[in-house]
Chain A
């Protein structure tokens, strides 16, 4: 593969990677920090994408739609967590298998529900920045990728700052480390976790908007993104926000290079391949606790 092609693939990969980071950051919170086996996270992202699509049918710009949906998804996340906590976390021992099966069932229901409502055909949206390209020197970058990159960076950095500087954010990090100590200090761990899960789900709205901006969506996309999001979350080191960005970029570049050299049919296997490699060699990830 020629050097120029490689550079182009890398740049495209970085843009793509930041998008992957944005999609996965909710999982870094839900699974990395809160230890919830949230295998339905990508399904929620796809759900967000379809919600943006529906609003787009009424003329709404996708990013705007994503922003509007964010508080909606926040409350959905809170509700889901409360249910999960009441049904599984409280009961202890057997909860691992059942919690996992529960989220798997939820992901499944979301996917089949979307198929029943929208059918299996791909859906996409229109916006001013979709379809155009920007030129940087000799490279042409699709504008939608640049937009996605920008928003993703904002989302990732914003959430990272939130977790490290605000009071609630640090409480979330604390609850990830030692729930009992936190309770002894007067904060209610359940409420904090609930809030955190709400935030994680809220990111799905924006991530869904980015997803449908980047390309067409179809209901089965969620399953493909299980690999990508968990790859990023695990490679990052569970719960690390800066790690999520780094891991996303690594995945993005790897996929881009494989796409350019081996073709599109091999690209889905990259995320899963990296994930299996990380699990085999260094399960704690790059910045693991």
Chain B
């Protein structure tokens, strides 16, 4: 439990800061841009649950994001559903989608899962384009409900909501990482056959990761129609989401929940600046180039680079992932006690 007190304190501070910001800052654009960055934090974190932990690469994150968005649109049009309901149902729908894709392809090699995610992206886009209830290819306008008195505008409400979602997503990712679930996923990534032979239910864990990842991506997408006041397939299914969801964790570092956050904040902010000042195609090109560069040169991402720097100054770290095991923290017994014989060193 003590691992969590620092994290919870930080989370509360962030949400409090977000609420305070809505009273103090006048410039609406700040909330607009920050919403996008927070949204990418959720997307990147979601991606990494399956990609970083288990090693399966999702190329179709845009589809899960857009499915969440369009689920919200359908709910608004059909039932005028409140935001909370939209979020919950979107999570269920995209979680189910993740489960389905996983059930079909996670038994096969990694590349087939990846291709299946591209397939799902194209199929979802085709379905949406042909579905006039949610606006088809022309798109549909969505009215923002009036903002409650606490926030100046509905956009500010969405900003705080997204901050909350980001904190929840990161908390889930952190829990998965430091718990036995995370260890199981890493075992699968390192050597699936060995993991299975030591009792890890590989398929179940992979399905869990795929479902959780899909659900979180859908949650990230659900507030999108309200945020934009309009939605149409080209922007909802934009390739930018697929590439960013992949590039941010890789650039930040896939080994820990911190990596996607770093990647999302850095890259998201850069994207906002470039889009406004230069062009959005160039922005997307830059993301692609950064992705390729990092994959080749710094595969452990920014986190890995930082670790290397620390290692040089502090001396060798014993292992890459220093995540403590549950239990009483004893040091190992010194030489000579309770062992069969001394070990020869290499």
Contacts and interface: CB of A to CB of B under 8 A. Distances in A.
* Secondary structure of the A contact surface, majority rule: helix
B207 interface: no
B123 A273 contact: yes
A28 to B, nearest CB: 14
B111 A37 contact: yes
B104 A269 contact: no
A251 to B, nearest CB: 13
Given A116-B282, A230-B115, A104 B59 contact: yes
B119 A227 contact: yes
Given A102-B292, A102-B296, A272-B123, A109 B285 contact: yes
B108 A283 contact: yes
Interface in B119-159: 119-120, 122-123, 126-127, 129-130
B295 A98 contact: yes
A279 B108 contact: yes
B110 A109 contact: no
Interface residues of B, number: 39
A99 to B, nearest CB: 8
Interface string A74-108: 00000000000001000001101110111011101
A275 interface: yes
A105 B118 contact: no
Contacts of A115: 281
A230 B55 CA distance: 21
A216 interface: no
Chain B binding surface SS class:
helix
Contact of B281 (A116, A223, A224): A116
Contacts of B55: 96-97
A165 interface: no
Contacts of B263: none
Nearest to B299: A98
Given A97-B57, A226-B118, A268-B126, A279 B288 contact: no
A166 interface: no
B124 to A, nearest CB: 10
A280 B111 contact: no
Given A100-B110, A112-B284, A105 B295 contact: yes
Contacts of B289: 105, 109
Given A266-B130, A276-B104, A104 B123 contact: no
Nearest to A112: B285
B122 A272 contact: yes
B83 interface: no
B172 interface: no
A112 B126 CA distance: 22
B281 A280 contact: no
Contacts of B285: 109, 112-113, 116
B296 A223 contact: no
Contact of A97 (B110, B127, B282): B110
Contacts of A98: 295, 299
Interface in B237-258: 239, 243, 246-247, 250
A72 B292 CA distance: 23
Interface in A240-289: 265-266, 268-269, 272-273, 275-276, 279-280, 283
B114 interface: yes
B105 interface: yes
Contacts of B118: 223, 226-227, 272
22 contacts: A39-B115, A96-B111, A97-B57, A101-B57, A102-B295, A102-B296, A104-B291, A105-B243, A105-B288, A108-B291, A109-B285, A112-B281, A116-B281, A223-B118, A226-B115, A227-B119, A265-B129, A266-B130, A269-B126, A272-B120, A272-B122, A279-B112
Identify the 10 closest CB pairs spanning chains A and B, nearest first: A272-B119, A105-B292, A108-B288, A105-B291, A112-B285, A109-B288, A269-B126, A37-B111, A102-B295, A87-B296
Interface of A: 31, 37, 39, 87, 93-94, 96-98, 100-102, 104-106, 108-109, 111-113, 115-116, 223-224, 226-227, 230, 234, 265-266, 268-269, 272-273, 275-276, 279-280, 283
